[in-house]
Structure 1
Amino acid sequence: MKTERETIMVFTGEQQSSMARYLQMKRQIRAPRAAGLIAYSGTQGSYAEEACIRFFGDDRLFIPHKSFGDVFKTITGGGADYGVVPIENSTTGAINENYDLLIRYQASIVGEVLIPVHHCLLGVPGAKISDIQSVYSHEQGFYQSRDFLSKYPEWALVPYHNTAVAAKMVHDAGDKSKAAIASRRAAQIHHLDVLAGPINGADNNTTRFIVVSRMPENRPGRNKISLRFTLKDEPGALYHLLGIFDAEHLNLSKIESRPIPASQWHYQFFMDFIGDIDEDHLDAIIGQVMAHTRSFEFLGFYPHG
């Protein structure tokens, strides 16, 4: 009698397309490159730059970009070897824009790094909290520091695309009434005073950054897989799919649903799982997963951070 893994599976047209993309991805797997250029969103002193240094070391050339989209354009266009972007925060959850960009640019996750987040209120030298009238930061910085900010309802909160860029702007403005929410490292680099901090509510606040590349890589210690899929419209579809991971003794570390913009009340799922998996075992698992899904994207196979 055949086991579930050995059962012959018949795929629909959309499933066949998903399998073809997966097999094409496997043919493109390469050894890790000696990184020369690494793209990231932000500027010196940003958490993304810290993630770059943590993953690659400090002897590489890190190229700042104004947006996450610019990072993906650069790596897929060959302007950098790797890109580093945030994908989720332990307090505020997923950064959905970067999931969308992963799919749009068909980039591969080849690594991850976890960076503790310690936001501080930064001002120009000599400024006091009583001087502050407006505060600049990324929206995530505001949300993660909301308990502290609630004590100062008179402050105007001005969103910026990056915390460290906000810190640089405050330095360049030279105005005691302006402050930024960013890291202590941003304060050191941009010559600002720490007026208060850490001010984010959660002591263990951490951002997970992913390292992305044009091509998948065979990095040593690969044990984490990221997927995106949509389910068949049938009873128990998600239940049966999750049963695969239980049967294979794999640790499901993340699953999140998001609406599909062009399909009302239909959802896509993003999933991460961890396990001691070789190539043949992975192929078998992917085949089983595809049997329970309508569409499927393999986002990466990489070492758990």
Structure 2
Amino acid sequence: MSTKIAIQGVKASFHEEAALKYFGDDIETLECSSFKQTCEMLKQGKADYVVMAIENSIAGSILPNYNLLRDYRFHIIGEVHLIIQQNLLALPGVKLSDIKIVESHPIAIRQCDEFLSEHPDWEVKEGMDTAGCAKKIKDEKLTTTAAIASEHAAKTYGLEILERRIETHKKNATRFLILSNQVVEQKNANKASLSFQTGNAVGALANVLQCFAEQNVNLSKIQSMPVVGRRNEYDFYVDVEWKKQSDYDAAIRKVLKHTANFSIMGEYIKNEKV
């Protein structure tokens, strides 16, 4: 039986590409209309894993997904980095001069703002996901609409690429997390995602960060999110990397003395290849 992976979006979306990159070709992707739905599929046992975008090198952190990580408390077992290449897709035979509407995911639109600014007469519409907008053009035979999506989406839905590589920054990458309902032991883990709260005293967060520095543990990301309903209180989400397991273990012991609601969300192998 194929491994079932819940993804936000439809086939040929960047989430499916990330799933294929991490798990290989022998998977079944379960299309979901929202990130919350992917989490429900995993919670109910209908999916084995979720692939969830967490940050983009241009658009930044995807904050609502941090709320989902907090609410569902799944285990992060891995990560995938995907170079995002955006293209302008349309039905075969449609020319650039025919286009009146461009549709895509809001983040994809932001990634291509320079290209879109060259065409001020186009109406730009936000859709649920990149590949879904490509599929809509095929299904509804839209001759004046183009989608911003991947080359994989163009092949999947029989569309032509009117303009290639329209993203503003060519080093545009998205990081995806692999989520599981079970703890999966990762041998040789060298990266972890942690969450915690600190007191409000001066230097409270600095004390925590110092614990990592003293043990040669690199802090690769920090994200704060307000604690719902509690003014001036924050959850901190950090990603850390280490070379020696003993350094990481010692850092965690120290950090526990300076934090509340400390949680190891996942320990996994850093994805070096983009």
* TM value normalised by structure 2: 0.94
Is the contact made by 2:3 and 2:26 (CA closer than 8 Å) also made in structure 1? no
The 1-side partners of 2:155 and 2:192 are apart by: 37
Indicate how the Cα distance of structure 1 residues 217 and 282 shifts in structure 2: closer, same or farther if over 3 A, else same: farther
1:55 counterpart = 2:22: yes
1:244-301: CA deviation from partner (whole Å, max 9, x where unpaired): 11110011111122333422333322110101353x7655432322222233232110
Match of 2:253 among 281, 287, 292: 287
**88-97 or 290-299: bigger deviation:** 290-299
Give the unaligned 5+ runs of structure 2. none
Equivalent AA in structure 2 for residue 252 of structure 1: L
| 2:140 corresponding residue in structure 1 | 173
Which structure 2 residues correspond to residues 84-233 of structure 1 after superposition, within 5 A?
A: 84-233=51-200
The 2-side partners of 1:159 and 1:261 are apart by: 28
Which structure 2 residues correspond to residues 228-239 of structure 1 after superposition, within 5 A?
A: 228-239=195-206
The percentage of aligned residue pairs carrying the same residue is 37
| 1:266 corresponding residue in structure 2 | 233
1:299 counterpart = 2:272: no
1:67 counterpart = 2:31: no
**289-298 or 39-48: bigger deviation:** 289-298
Quote the RMSD (CA, aligned, Å): 1.6
SS at match of 1:296: strand
CA offset at residue 243 of structure 1? 0.7
Is the contact made by 1:35 and 1:81 (CA closer than 8 Å) also made in structure 2? no
SS at match of 1:265: coil
The 2-side partners of 1:263 and 1:203 are apart by: 40
Equivalent AA in structure 2 for residue 125 of structure 1: P
Equivalent AA in structure 1 for residue 240 of structure 2: F
1:45-74: CA deviation from partner (whole Å, max 9, x where unpaired): 111111111111101222221111111111
Max Rg structure = 1
Equivalent AA in structure 2 for residue 304 of structure 1: K
Equivalent AA in structure 2 for residue 162 of structure 1: D
1:40 counterpart = 2:7: yes
Is the contact made by 2:76 and 2:177 (CA closer than 8 Å) also made in structure 1? yes
SS at match of 1:263: coil
CA offset at residue 190 of structure 1? 0.5
* TM value normalised by structure 1: 0.85
Give the unaligned 5+ runs of structure 1. 1-33
Q: Paired residues, what number?
A: 271
1:82 counterpart = 2:49: yes
Which structure 2 residues correspond to residues 247-258 of structure 1 after superposition, within 5 A?
A: 247-258=214-225
